[in-house]
């Protein structure tokens, strides 16, 4: 079977490995990705192309291996037309696990009348930001992102530590308009575009929930430093990719933050195999 994998990221790589090992007759023609910085490069020795290439390729199936599955599926259906039956969407259990955890946590915040606003640093295309916004409908949501992908300086720092898959400019296939279009309570959203935490200057709010999805060492460490004293007692900082092998320096940043504040953090996995919840009780 010949397939295209839409999503040249961690999920796509994992599926590729399993698919190729399952039969010697299986072939991954190419990866498809919306990130133009990846076009013309390769993953696992397989070329990465843009969505426009789909109509010119021969394949049996397009496998969507992307956290933005619904959005991507609509995109591919438009390209394939009558051939949309060739689309297969992977279930993404770690995404559902995180969404379920957030819903339960938000319910607890409201039950206990814990005050504070919310934030996400590392927004990308806004899928989890939309979940945050939906579950905290009356709280101001600050969204921090460069909207230009990984900054070169942060990638360089990562590469001086334990090697990650990070490449300058990756995750740039996004925009402020795209993110805002997904928000059910957009009137409560404030986008801070640029290099974080510099874009956080002047914010005096207190926070009851923050999601750090920054992938790299330096911004994760700086994110913890920035938000720590802004959190209300009983709040949570969620750190994505703490358990991700592809971004090993996220965990290092958390441990270095423990040294910085002089105590061990109270940390709990949330069941998505990627994230750690840090309880803040100042």
Question: For residues 126-148, b (16+ Cβ closer than 10 Å) or e, as one string?
Answer: bbbbbbbbbbbeebbbbbbbbbe
- pLDDT score recorded for residue 170: 85
- pLDDT score recorded for residue 90: 84
Residues of the chain scoring pLDDT < 70: 282
The third-level CATH classification (topology) of the domain covering 94-280 is Rossmann fold (3.40.50)
Distance of CA 77 to the CA centre of its chain: 24
- The enclosing H or E element of 228 equals helix 217-228
Q: Do domains 2-89 and 94-280 have the same CATH topology?
A: yes
- pLDDT score recorded for residue 92: 72
CATH architecture of the domain with residue range 2-89:
3-Layer(aba) Sandwich (3.40)
State the Cα–Cα distance between residues 273 and 112, nearest whole angstrom: 28
- pLDDT score recorded for residue 205: 98
State the Cα–Cα distance between residues 87 and 245, nearest whole angstrom: 29
Q: Are 213 and 122 in contact (CB under 8 A)?
A: yes
With a CB cutoff of 8 Å and minimum separation 6, the contacts of 38 are 8, 31, 48, 170
Look-up of token digits 């199936």: 61
- Domain boundaries defined on the chain: 2-89, 94-280
Q: What's the pTM? A: 0.81
| Helical axes 217-228 vs 152-160, angle rounded to 10° | 110
- pLDDT score recorded for residue 282: 64
State the Cα–Cα distance between residues 186 and 259, nearest whole angstrom: 38
Question: Tokens standing for 212?
Answer: 């750090």
Sign of the four-CA dihedral 131, 70, 65, 96: positive
């Amino acid at each position: 079977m010949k397939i295209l994998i839409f999503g040249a990221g961690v999920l796509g790589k994992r599926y590729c490995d399993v698919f190729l090992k399952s039969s010697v007759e299986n072939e991954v023609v190419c990866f498809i990705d919306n990130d133009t910085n990846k076009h013309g490069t390769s993953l696992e020795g397989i070329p990465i192309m843009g969505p426009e290439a789909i109509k010119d390729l021969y394949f049996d199936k397009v496998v969507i291996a992307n956290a933005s599955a619904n959005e991507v599926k609509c995109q591919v259906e438009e390209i394939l037309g009558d051939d949309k039956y060739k689309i297969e969407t992977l279930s993404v259990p770690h995404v559902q696990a995180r969404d379920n955890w957030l819903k339960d946590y938000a319910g607890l915040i409201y039950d206990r009348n814990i005050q504070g606003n919310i934030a996400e640093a590392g927004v990308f295309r806004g899928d989890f930001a939309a979940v945050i916004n939906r579950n905290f409908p009356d709280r101001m949501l600050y969204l921090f992102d460069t909207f230009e992908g990984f900054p070169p300086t942060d990638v360089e720092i990562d590469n001086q530590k334990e090697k990650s898959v990070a490449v300058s400019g990756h995750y740039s296939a996004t925009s402020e308009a795209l993110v805002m279009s997904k928000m059910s309570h957009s009137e409560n959203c404030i986008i801070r575009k640029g290099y974080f935490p510099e874009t956080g200057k002047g914010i005096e709010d207190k926070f009851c929930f923050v999601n750090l999805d920054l992938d790299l060492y330096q911004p994760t460490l700086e994110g913890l430093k920035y938000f720590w004293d802004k959190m209300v007692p009983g709040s949570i900082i969620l750190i994505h990719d703490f358990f991700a092998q592809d971004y090993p320096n996220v965990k290092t940043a958390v441990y270095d933050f423990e040294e910085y504040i002089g105590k061990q953090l109270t940390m709990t996995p949330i069941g998505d195999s990627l994230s750690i919840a840090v309880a803040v009780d100042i």
